[in-house]
Structure 1
Amino acid sequence: MLIDAHHHLWRIARNDYGWLTPDTGFLYRDYEPADFKPLLDAHGIERAVVIQAAPTLAETDFLLSLAERHPYLGAVVGWVDFAARDTPEQLDRLSRHPRFRGVRPMIQDIPEDDWMLRPELHETFVALTERDLSFDALIQPRHLRALLELVGRHPSLRIAIDHCGKPEVRDWQAGDASFNAWRDGMTELARYSNVVCKLSALPTRSAPNWTADTFAAYVDVLMTAFGETRLMWASDWPILERNGRYADWLRVARQLVPEAAHARVFGATAQAFYRIE
């Protein structure tokens, strides 16, 4: 089974996407299952994981309602308020839906690099662990140290690092100090068996006219660190289209991942992590 481990759907009229404004250009319109499913069908992809794009419980309920009507949505990663007292009860409510799999706070939008280490959030991470729910870590390189500390505190928490940790491909060269710091941080995180990584968003982190060579050093780091059993390919559609097309990113990723690892990286890892039927 081929799986796209990360994409987004939204409906502008819901009005809780603070980052979605007319300034975002072509992204400022509705993106519905009818827009995305033809792309999956064209490439033989059977399931996809839909990820929250707004920091509200209403967003999570919206995505779960879509999953009820569209079988290709194999898993939903929503949002909860990590600091709210009733978050464990909210997780119990959401978990009654058969495709709810975890949550994603929008960490990259929070100014405080150590936000995830706040004491008042501890109980939510414990609640996720106790319910076997996943935590999608939407981080940037500035968060690597904090995420390492979080993993140490919660060694049984199932964590997916989104978008390769968002390396600055357009500004870095393999071997420079920034690249090496990202490499070392990701390699250290990979030492924890409860951490997986999404091979996604490299196109939107790079300059235009990227090729397989643009990403080769990054994919090599991730394959070496996580291996095929803890690396999963994802499109990050429709954000991807800021600097690329679905078919091109899928083709380049297939070129860079060793063929013997394709079954896992392009399907089985996501199927196991998100328990996709």
Structure 2
Amino acid sequence: MSAERIDAHQHFWDPSRGDYGWLTPELQTLYRVFGPNDLKPLREAVHVARTVVVQAAPTVDETRYLLDLARDDASVAGIVGWVPLDAPDSVELIDELAREPKLKGVRPMLQDLPDDRWIENPALAPAIRALIKNDLAFDALIFSRHIPSLKVFAARFPELRIVVDHGAKPQIKDGHAAWQSWADGIAELAALPQGLVCKLSGLATEAAPGWSVATLKPYVDHLLDRFGPERLMWGSDWPVLNLNGDYSHWFDAARQLTSHLDASAQQSIFGDTAREFYRL
């Protein structure tokens, strides 16, 4: 096993490109260009060698923009892009994009779609089969309300490699009231036969301002208990993270929350799981 440290989930963007519907000037912290040179000092300070860059706009143009950024940047290990999975030309598009060696997966922005059950649509089947054929992964950006549909989807495509983004975004700021439905849903996803993996990411964003290691501990403990370190991968979710934290603070918190594990388990979370899952 390599001791390389990998950030399994971060973003680059340029608002002037005009296809980030959610990224508005009101989000002052985020409404600017974020590129590899912005991330470099942050990841180097905590010895993160490479990253997986995840789409932030539901367009093929943004996927091509990220692939262009990645082409000559050794720090970008892979791109998770976006494809219109329900479009008539989805298979041809997937086949074309898959020729890019750094394309490692796709992500529909499920959390933003009006239909919580969209993922159950049978019309997606040709595109999903094309992902499997091209050995591409699937990032599931969900809340706990999407879990029943994700289970249907996973059962339909047992060969598809699926990773749950951001621990299924537990509503940490809502405290105990939102805990049980999330915790039960995580247990169900972790028990699925094909062995879904999960990202230890995005938790700071879901917490109230001023969060601490203690705030996040029950959530991280539950993810560890259900998925185990070999099916968890750490991600920063930078620069979205900047809304309620920063790179080093979240990295340090994640290290503390996993410090009771042995060295190989920690290496799984901070590098090996991502490398194996995404074929980096």
Indicate whether the TM-score tops 0.5. yes
What 5-or-longer segments of structure 1 have no aligned partner? Answer: none
Name the CA distance, whole Å, in 2 between partners of 1:194 and 1:104: 18
Tell me the equivalent position of 1:268: 272
Q: Match of 2:185, as an amino acid?
A: G
Tell me the equivalent position of 1:207: 208
> Are 1:230 and 2:231 counterparts?
yes
Instruction: Decide whether the 8 Å contact of 1:51 with 1:76 is kept in 2.
Output: yes
Name the CA distance, whole Å, in 2 between partners of 1:100 and 1:244: 29
Instruction: Decide whether the 8 Å contact of 2:29 with 2:242 is kept in 1.
Output: no
Name the CA distance, whole Å, in 2 between partners of 1:79 and 1:215: 30
> Are 1:254 and 2:255 counterparts?
yes
Tell me the equivalent position of 1:218: 219
Between 189-198 and 87-96, report the one with greater CA deviation.
189-198
* Paired residues, number: 273
> Are 1:134 and 2:137 counterparts?
yes
Instruction: Decide whether the 8 Å contact of 1:155 with 1:194 is kept in 2.
Output: no
Instruction: Decide whether the 8 Å contact of 2:95 with 2:130 is kept in 1.
Output: no
Shift of 1:183: 1.1
Equivalence map 1:1-277=2 (5 Å):
1-173=4-176, 176=177, 178-192=178-192, 193-257=194-258, 258-260=260-262, 261-276=265-280
Shift of 1:130: 2.1
Name the CA distance, whole Å, in 2 between partners of 1:94 and 1:122: 18
Name the CA distance, whole Å, in 1 between partners of 2:154 and 2:185: 12
* 3-state SS in 2 of match to 1:70: coil
* 3-state SS in 2 of match to 1:22: coil
Instruction: Decide whether the 8 Å contact of 1:199 with 1:232 is kept in 2.
Output: yes
Runs of 4+ in 1 over 3 A off after TM superposition: none
Shift of 1:194: 3.7
Instruction: Decide whether the 8 Å contact of 1:81 with 1:87 is kept in 2.
Output: yes
Between 117-126 and 133-142, report the one with greater CA deviation.
117-126
TM-score by length of 2: 0.95
Which digits, 9 at most, give the CA deviation of each residue in 1:102-155, with x for residues without a partner? 100111111111010012112212221222111100101110111111111111
Identity of aligned residues (%): 48
Shift of 1:259: 3.3
Which digits, 9 at most, give the CA deviation of each residue in 1:163-219, with x for residues without a partner? 00001000022xx5x312211111111123341100011111011111111111111
Shift of 1:69: 1.9
Name the CA distance, whole Å, in 1 between partners of 2:29 and 2:196: 34
* 3-state SS in 1 of match to 2:151: helix
What 5-or-longer segments of structure 2 have no aligned partner? Answer: none
Shift of 1:24: 1.2
Q: Match of 1:267, as an amino acid?
A: G
Instruction: Decide whether the 8 Å contact of 2:141 with 2:166 is kept in 1.
Output: yes
Instruction: Decide whether the 8 Å contact of 2:49 with 2:75 is kept in 1.
Output: yes
Between 20-29 and 160-169, report the one with greater CA deviation.
20-29
Name the CA distance, whole Å, in 1 between partners of 2:100 and 2:154: 27
Name the CA distance, whole Å, in 2 between partners of 1:253 and 1:13: 33
Name the CA distance, whole Å, in 2 between partners of 1:126 and 1:95: 13
* 3-state SS in 2 of match to 1:26: coil
Shift of 1:46: 0.4
TM-score by length of 1: 0.96
CA RMSD of aligned residues (A): 1.1
Shift of 1:15: 1.1
Instruction: Decide whether the 8 Å contact of 1:157 with 1:194 is kept in 2.
Output: no
Between 154-163 and 10-19, report the one with greater CA deviation.
10-19
Q: Match of 1:274, as an amino acid?
A: Y
Name the CA distance, whole Å, in 1 between partners of 2:269 and 2:277: 12
